Structure formats: structure tokens, C-alpha cells
Amino acid sequence: MLMQKNQVFEHAEMTNEAIHAGQSLSALFLTSATELVPAGRAICWEGDEAKHLFQLVEGVVRLYRIVGDGRRVITAFQFAGDLIGASLQKDFLFTAEAVTECKIRRVSRKSFDDDVARSDALHTAYIFLLCRETAAAHEQMVLLSKKNAEERLCSFIAKLASRRNLQARQSVLRVPMSRQDIADHLGLTIETVSRTLTKLASRNVVIPEGRHDLRIVNLACLTRLSGDADDFSEESCHRVSLH
């Protein structure tokens, strides 16, 4: 238990450092023009030469790859403030596509690399950004390889709630991506996502409100069901959520 608390503390420290890192790297984009990207339009394509990096100013972007049998795999979602393509050197390994209407800025790869090389502070910020991307990739691997459908969906919702700093009971969480997007990100079918949401609603954990809103009724139970808490039990979660 103590080890897990220490890990949480260390993760919080790293997250704060990563935020500051992102802010300092963001300064490299301030002189770039802001571009408007309509929902559904690609910002870059898998396999294209990575000549530019992008800063997401507003909106949500999905990063996806098409696997051999034609299926789409969404590897990540990007939000305002995130940098797209920072860890790439040659070609884009994904297609970045706007989920919502987005505003972006871009800088050339060469300009970015030159600025980072000239500044110790920017170099440190860049390392923190790469560490954050690596940690996120590891989390996604664990989610896909070890978690069941309910744990995957609860992890996804809890992560969105954390990003939005939702803590109070009965908070409404805006979920801009479609259920098909969520399914393609979690390695599930859209039917499984819908069934799992219905199950969570019946247990008074989260309740869908329209196509893109979820009412978080019991955030503590949601966290337990994600498999990321150490004091979860099915009985206690049912008991808490039904009161």
C-alpha cells in the first residue's frame, strides 16, 4: 500500500513536470499562424514524411493506424496543449484526424530540433515529453493486454474525468469522441461499449446523457472498477453505488 502511495506521488510529480515541459515547448509555436481544421479532416497521414510538428490549440484529435485486415486502431487521443509528432524522426507512424473542429499551429521539424538543441531548458522539457508519451504507451499496453471490457471502459472514463479535473458527485463529463472511436481505442466492439455503459448505468456509476455526455455518479467506484485501485471488491462497489 505504501509503495502504491509513493508511486502515485511520484506520478503526480512527473505529471506536473510534464505539464511545465509542455508549456515551455509550446513557446516554440507562438509565432506560427493558427490553422482551423474541420472535424473529420486529417492533420497528417500515416507514412507521410514528418516535416512538421503540430501543437493542438483547441479541440480533440485521434491518432490511428490501419492494421493489415483493414481495421482502424486508435492509439491515442490528443487534447488542447498536446504536441503531435514530437517523438518522430522520419515518417508519421499514425494518421492524426480531428474529432472536433480544431485549431492547430505547426513548426518545421528542423526548426524544432535546432531550438531544442540550443537550449538546456528545452532539451529537458523535450525529454519529459518523451517520457510522458512512453508512459502513456505502457499504460495502453497494460489496458489492452490485461484488462477486461469493464476495466478498459472505466479506465478510459476515469482518465477523461481526471483530465477535466472532475471530482464532485454528479459531475457531467463531456465525451467528444463517438462510441466507435472509444471501441477502436479500447480494442472492443461498439456493441460491447454500449452494453458496458448500460451495465454501469444500472449500477449507478455513470449515466449517459445524450450522445456525448456522461454523468459521473460515483467517481470512487468508477476508479475501483477501472482496476487501478487496490481496495476494490465487487460487493463494496455495488454497496456504495446503490446508496
Amino acid 24: pLDDT:
85
Tell me the average pLDDT of the chain: 85
Q: What is the pLDDT of residues 13-60, one digit of tens each?
A: 444 444 444 458 999 999 999 999 999 999 999 999 999 999 999 999
Could you give the angle at the alpha carbon of 168 between the alpha carbons of 11 and 217, nearest 5°? 105
**Hunting for cell 510538428 — which residue is that?**
53
Residue 33 contacts residue 105 (beta carbons within 8 Å): yes
Checking if the pLDDT of 217 tops 80, the result is: yes
| CATH classification at residue 187 | 1.10.10.10
- Number of structural domains found in the chain: 2
Do 55 and 37 share a structural domain? Answer: yes
Do 26 and 77 share a structural domain? Answer: yes
Domain final residue, candidates 114, 143, 172: 143
Amino acid 88: pLDDT:
75
Do 214 and 120 share a structural domain? Answer: no
Q: What is the pLDDT of residues 112-128, one digit of tens each?
A: 999 999 999 999 999 99
Domain final residue, candidates 143, 168, 196: 143
Do 131 and 189 share a structural domain? Answer: no
| CATH classification at residue 93 | 2.60.120.10
Domain, as residue range, for 225: 148-241
Amino acid 89: pLDDT:
73
Percent residues over pLDDT 70 in the chain? 82
Do 127 and 103 share a structural domain? Answer: yes
Checking if the pLDDT of 2 tops 60, the result is: no
Do 98 and 21 share a structural domain? Answer: yes
Do 115 and 42 share a structural domain? Answer: yes
Nearest to 173 by CA among 191, 189, 157: 157
Percent residues over pLDDT 90 in the chain? 70
Which residues, 6 or more positions from 102, have their beta carbon under 8 angstroms from its beta carbon?
A: 36, 37, 39, 43, 56, 57, 58, 59, 60, 61
DSSP string of the chain, one letter each residue: -HHHHHHHHHHHHHHHHHHHHHHHHHGGGTTSPPEEE-TT-EEE-TTSB--EEEEEEES-EEEEEE-TTS-EEEEEEE-TT-EESTT-SSB-SSEEEESS-EEEEEEEHHHHHHHHHH-HHHHHHHHHHHHHHHHHHHHHHHHHHH--HHHHHHHHHHHHHHHTT--STTEEEE--S-HHHHHHHHT--HHHHHHHHHHHHHTTSEEE-SSSEEEES-HHHHHHHTT--SS--HHHHHHHHT-
Strand partners for 106: 54
Do 46 and 139 share a structural domain? Answer: yes
Domain final residue, candidates 113, 143, 173: 143
Average pLDDT over residues 232-243: 41
Residue 129 contacts residue 83 (beta carbons within 8 Å): yes
Measured distance CA(175)–CA(212) in Å, rounded: 5
Do 67 and 12 share a structural domain? Answer: yes
Q: What is the pLDDT of residues 85-116, one digit of tens each?
A: 988 778 999 999 999 999 999 999 999 999 99
Amino acid 8: pLDDT:
38
Provide φ and ψ at 64, rounded to 5°: -140, 160
Average pLDDT over residues 199-219: 94
Q: How confident is the model at residue 242 (pLDDT cuts 50, 70, 90)?
A: very low
Amino acid 168: pLDDT:
57
Do 116 and 9 share a structural domain? Answer: yes
Checking if the pLDDT of 169 tops 80, the result is: no
Do 197 and 136 share a structural domain? Answer: no
Amino acid 170: pLDDT:
62
Amino acid 27: pLDDT:
92
Residue 184, number of CB atoms within 10 A of its CB: 21
Amino acid 165: pLDDT:
75
Residue 133 contacts residue 85 (beta carbons within 8 Å): no
Do 14 and 116 share a structural domain? Answer: yes
Checking if the pLDDT of 12 tops 70, the result is: no
Measured distance CA(72)–CA(149) in Å, rounded: 18
